[in-house]
Structure 1
Amino acid sequence: MSQNKHHQSDILYITQPTRNILLALGAWPSINKGESIHSKVHNLLLIFMSYSLLFCDLIPGILYWLMKATTRVRLQMIPLLLYDFMSVSQYGIFISRYDQLKRCLKHVEEDWENILSVDARNIMLKSARTGKRLVTICAFFMYSGVITFRGILPLFQGKIVIDQNVTIRRFACPGYYFSFDVQVSPVYETVFIIQFLTGFITVSIVTCACGLTAIFVVHACGQLKILISLMTGLVQKEWQEECETNKKLAEIVEHQIRDWQTRNIGTLCSYLISIINVIIHMFLFCYTGEQLTGQAEKVAITSCMLEWYRLPDRKARSVVLLIIMSNMPTKISAGQFIDLSLKTFGNVMKTAGTYFNMLRSVID
C-alpha cells in the first residue's frame, strides 16, 4: 500500500481538542512506543490532583444529601450527584483502559498512514471535520454551563441572612464539611475555587468521552465510505488480467476486516444551560451511532447491488463472502442494552419529559 506522508499531521488534526483536554487530565494515551519516566510521573500527578478535586466535591455532597438536606433539596441534588459520580467513573475508565485506548488510536494512525489515494484522504478528512465540529460544539456548551452554574450563579444569587443574623454566602454545590465554618474567609473562597475547578474537570471528562466517541465513530464511517468506493470500483471496468482482479478484491477484503472489529432568572438560565448540555451530550452519542449504522447499511446495499457478473466466474464467487460480511450489523450500544440512534434519542427525550412532569407533581 502507498503511504500517506501527512498521516502525523492528520492525526494531530483529527484528535483536537480531545487530545489537549486529556493531556491536561493526564489520561491521553500516547501512540509513541515508549514514555519517559518524567511523563509518567507527570500524568500520575495530574490524575492525583484531578481525583482529589473530584472527591472534594463528591464526598461533601453525598454527606449533605444523607445528613442535612430536605426532601426537596435531595430531589434537586440527585442529578448533580449522579453527574459527578458519572464523571468519576468515566475518568476511571480512561485510566484503567489506557492500553486499549492506545491500541485503538494506533489502529487509527495505521489507517491514516495506509490511505490509498488523495481521494480517500479527502473522504477521511471530511468525516473527521464533522466529528471535530461536534466535539467543539459540545465543549462550548459544556464549559459555558460550568462557568454559569459554578461561577456566575452563586455570585448572582448574592448573600442571605438567616434568623440568627448570620450571613450565608452561597455555593454552587451544597456540602457538609463537619465542624469547618465555610462562611469565613479564606475558607469560603477556597471551597468556592475548588468547586469551580472541579466543575471544569467534570465537564472535561464528559467532553473527552464525547470526543473519543466522535474520533472513532467518524473514523469508522470514513473507512466504510472508502470501502464503498473500492467495492464500486471493483466492477466499474472489465479487468483484463486476473492478477489485477485479485489485487482489487484483496484490498476490499483487507479493508473490510479492519472495519469489523429556585425561580429566578439566574437559576433558570443556569439550569437551562445544564439541560442543554445533557441533551447535546446524549444527541452526540446517538447521532454518531446513527451515522455509523447508516454508513454500514450503505455498505450492505452496495455489496448487494454489485455487478458481479462482470467479474471472472471464479472470482465472482468470492463476492458472496463479501456480501455476507457487509450485511453484519454495525452499531454502537449503551452497555449492550440499547442501540444508540436518533430513535433512541427521541425515546429518551419522551421519557425525560414524563419524568419532569412527575417530579413537578411531587414537588408541588
Structure 2
Amino acid sequence: MPQNEHYQNDILYVMQPIRNLLLALGAWPTIKKERSVYQKAYNLLLICISYTLLFCDFVPSILYWFIEATSRIRLQMIPFLLYDFMSVGQYGIFIFRYNQLKRCLMHVEEDWENVLNVDARNIMLKSARIGKRLITICGIFMYSAVITFRTILPLFQGKIITDQNITIRHFSCPGYFFSLNVQVTPVYETIFIIQFVIGFIPVSIVTSACGLTAIFVEHACGQLKILISLMTTLVQKQWQKEHEVNTMLAEIVNHQMRVRNFLRLVQHTLQEVYILEIAVNTASLCILVYFMLVDWENRNIATVCTYCISITNVTIHTFLFCYTGEQLTSQAEKVAIASCELEWFRLPDKKARSIILLIRMSNAPSKISAGIFIDLSLKTFGNE
C-alpha cells in the first residue's frame, strides 16, 4: 500500500509535460508494465516517421552544403547542420537507452509512492514546480524559435530577381533537390510547409532532453532537502531507546544511497546528451557571433537581428542545462554543510561516532556532467 495516497496525481503533475513530448516521439517508456505488441508497433511507426522526416530535412541540406553552397554559406549552415545532427543523436539515445530511462522514471515514481510525510511531499512538490517551470521556459523559447525561423524570417527576406529575370524565393532550410524546380507553385509552397512541420521534431527532441534533466535533477534536489530534514531530526529528537537511533540512522543512510544511485543512473543514461548539447551549442555560438559582427560592420540590420535571436535562443538553452546542474551542486553543498553542523553531542555516546561516516558520505560531491569532461554548472556556462 503506497504511503502517499495522492501519488498518482503527483506523478501525473510531475511527468505530464515531458510525457506528452516523448509519447509523440514514440520514446516514452511504459512504467511498471510491459508494452503490448500494439504499443511496440505504434512506437516503432512513430520512430520511423520521425526519423524519415528528420532525414528529409538533414539530407538535402548536406547535399546542398557539398554541391552548391559557397564557402560563406557553408560556414553559415554549420550551426543548422550541427543542430540537426544533435537532434538525431539525442533521439537515438532516448531510443537505445529505453531501459535505463525507464529505470529512472520508475525510481521517481517509487519515491512519490513512498513519501515519508506531508512535509516531505510538500518539499518534493516545490522541487517539481521548479522543474516544470524550467521545461516551460525551454519550450516557449524553442517553439517560438522554430516558428520564427521556419516561417517569419524566410518570408521577411522577400524575393530575389536574378539578371535572367528568374524569381527566387527563400526557404528556411537551404537544400539540394536535384532537377526539381522548387520555385514554381505549388512545389515551393509544399516544401515550405513540409520544412515548417519538420522543424517541430528536432525542437521536441531537444526540449525533451532539457525536460528530462529538469525532472530528474529537481527530483534529486527534493530528496536531498528531505535528507537534511532527516539528519536534523536525528539530533534534535530525544531518543529513549538505542534501537530507535539505529533505525533512524539506517533510514538516513538508505535515503542518501538511494539518491546517489539515482544520480549515477541519470548520469549514465543522459551523459552523451549533455556532451552533444555543450559541444554543439558552443560551436554554434562561436559561428553565430562571428557572422553577427561581420553583418554589423556591413550594416545589415535585418540579418543582425536574426543572428541576435539565434544567439539568445542558444544561450538560454545552454543556461537552462547549466542552471539545472548548478541547482544540484548547490543543494549537495547544503547537505554537506548540514552534516558538519549536526549537534552530534545530543546522541547517545556510542551512536555519536556514526555521524563521522554520515559526514564523510555527505561531503562526497553530487553533480551531473557532460561525460567525464565538463560539469554542468554556472561556472561552465560562464566559461563558454
TM-score normalised per structure 1 = 0.92
Q: How does 1:87-236 map to 2 (within 5 A)?
A: 87-236=87-236
User: Does the 8 A contact of 1:2 with 1:116 survive in 2?
Assistant: no
Q: Which moved more, 1:178-187 or 1:89-98?
A: 178-187
Residue 16 of structure 1, CA deviation: 2.9
Partner of 1:271: 307
Deviations 1:2-26 (A, max 9, x none): 7111111111111231111111111
Counterpart secondary structure, 1:79: helix
Amino acid at match of 1:308: W
2:350 counterpart (314, 320, 324)? 314
> 1:287 aligns to what?
323
Amino acid aligned to 1:100: Q
* Counterparts of 1:225 and 1:201, CA distance in 2: 36
266 and 20 in structure 1: CA distance in 2 versus 1, 3 angstrom threshold: farther
Taking a change above 3 Å as real, the CA distance of residues 53 and 251 of structure 1, as seen in their structure-2 partners, is: same
* Percent identical residues: 75
Residue matched to 2:332: 296
Alpha-carbon distance between aligned partners in 2 of 1:56 and 1:65, rounded to the nearest angstrom: 15
Q: For residues 300 and 172 of structure 2, what CA distance do their matches in structure 1 show?
A: 15
Partner of 1:324: 360
How far off its partner does 1:32 sit? 3.1
Does the 8 A contact of 1:16 with 1:132 survive in 2? no
Aligned partner of 1:352 in structure 2 is none
Moved more, 3-12 or 119-128: 3-12
Q: How far apart in 2 are the matches of 1:126 and 1:172?
A: 40
Q: Which moved more, 1:215-224 or 1:261-270?
A: 261-270
Alpha-carbon distance change, 6 to 265 in structure 1, aligned in 2, over 3 angstroms: farther
The separation in 1 between residues aligned to 2:306 and 2:135, in whole angstroms, is 21
Report SS of the residue matched to 1:229: helix
The answer for the alignment partner of 1:334 in structure 2 is 370
AA in 1 matched with 2:217: V
SS for the counterpart of 1:168 is: strand
Query: Can you list the C-alpha shifts for 1:267-301, whole angstroms capped at 9, x where unaligned?
Result: 44443332222111111111111110111111111
Q: Distance in 2 between matches of 1:248 and 1:266?
A: 64
Cα distance in 1 for partners of 2:122, 2:165 equals 68
Could you tell me whether the CA contact under 8 Å between 1:145 and 1:270 is conserved in 2? no
Q: 2:346 and 2:258 mapped to 1: Cα distance?
A: 27
Distance of 1:190 and 1:335 partners within structure 2: 41
Counterpart position of 1:359: none
What CA distance in whole angstroms lies between the structure 1 residues aligned with 2:302 and 2:212?
A: 33
**Over aligned residues, Cα RMSD in angstroms?**
1.5
**Range moving further from structure 2, 201-210 or 254-263:** 254-263
SS in structure 2 opposite 1:160? strand
Checking the alignment, whether the CA contact within 8 Å between 1:138 and 1:277 is kept in structure 2 is no
Tell me, in whole angstroms, the C-alpha distance in 1 between the residues paired with 2:2 and 2:91.
38
Deviates more, 1:206-215 or 1:244-253: 244-253
Q: Is the 8 A contact 1:143 1:200 kept in 2?
A: yes
Count of paired positions: 348
Q: Secondary structure at the match of 1:15?
A: helix
Give the CA deviation at 1:187.
2.2
Which amino acid is 2:348 matched to?
A: P
Q: Distance in 1 between matches of 2:121 and 2:28?
A: 25
1:345 aligns with 2:378: no
1:265 deviation in Å? 5.7
How far apart are the structure 2 equivalents of 1:33 and 1:114? 19
Gaps of 5+ in 1: 349-364
The one-letter code sitting in structure 1 at the alignment partner of 2:338 is: T
Mapped to 2, the partners of 1:266 and 1:9 lie a distance apart of: 48
- Counterpart of 2:236 in 1: which secondary structure? coil
Q: Which amino acid aligns with 1:212?
A: L
The residue matched to 1:177 in structure 2 has which SS?
A: coil
Q: Distance in 2 between matches of 1:46 and 1:277?
A: 28
Which residue in 1 is equivalent to 2:35? 35
2:227 counterpart SS class: helix
Give the C-alpha shift of residue 264 in structure 1: 5.6
Amino acid in the other structure paired with 1:311: L
Q: Is the 8 A contact 1:153 1:266 kept in 2?
A: no
1:71 corresponding residue in structure 2: 71
What is the letter of the counterpart of residue 314 of structure 2?
A: V
Q: 1:98: Cα distance to partner?
A: 0.8
| TM-score, structure 2 as length reference | 0.88
